[in-house]
Amino acid sequence: MSEAIVPSEHVPSPRQKLASVLRTFSWEFWIFGLKQAYACLFGGYLLFWIILTTFYFPLDPWITRYDFLLLMAIGFQAFLLLAHLETWRECCVIAVFHIVATAMEIFKTSDSIGSWHYPGEFRLGIGNVPLFAGFMYSAVGSYIARVWRVFDFRYLNYPSRWSTLLLVGLIYMNFFTHHYTVDLRIPLLIGSAVVFGWTTIYYRIDRVHRSMPLIVGLFLVALFIWFAENIATYSKIWVYPNQQAGWKMVGTSKLIAWYLLMLLSFVLVSLVNRPRKLGEAIDAK
């Protein structure tokens, strides 16, 4: 009597494996884009009004462009809080970033420094800086706070709090002191690699966490902000000295400045969103 033939377990062919990988990638790419768009809500909203008022702003006799943008920013910030799309704790940290960035703006746009300037008129401002300027930095802080939440960030080898605060403190000081002493931008860039170079960030797109080096993620965000900065300078929200005669692309050297500023914002947000390890419960203390 012949033995019964037991069907072997189905083994996917290479083509089926490739199709499965492509389906997973396509789905996660779509979800990644949606979550990023949600995280960029504040920044995208401001960019919309910046571009629109570049080509069409009929309210000029009654309100300046910068003051109008300020009112739009305040209104949207209030909406985010009332709709529970942003927590009060996150708002407080974003406000701190807003204040420290505005202080830097006042210094950078002073007549003695003149790193850039705001060409339009405004009634609501401090020195040469319209109050709206601080909300552009708030958009960066808002993005980090929201993206941290929607992607359920987890970390491996996250540095100690004192080392991160020391690093960003030196970064902030250098934005002022490099006009009078040695520019420490490159040493600070190296310092960021020493402090965060061993850190891996895990982000959940759909069901599982993916990973990348944290400094790579921060650089990619800085690159995105650099693109947005080119749009803003083209729209004459602010202009650099080499753009006085006509618009030119912002130099890629600004990527270092944005990367360092990203670190500052990231560490500030980490004060309310405690960095958690992969597998750690949300409600862990």
DSSP string, 33-73: HHHHHHHTHHHHHHHHHHHHHHH--TTTTTS-HHHHHHHHH
Give pTM, 2 decimals. 0.84
Q: In the chain, where are the structural domains located?
A: 29-270
pLDDT digits (tens, 9 = 90+) for 41-87: 999 999 999 999 999 888 888 999 999 999 999 999 999 889 888 88
What is the C-alpha to C-alpha distance for residues 181 and 161, in angstroms, rounded to an integer? 28
Position 273 scores a pLDDT of 87
How far apart are alpha carbons 283 and 229 in whole angstroms? Answer: 38
Per-residue pLDDT for 158 more than 90? yes
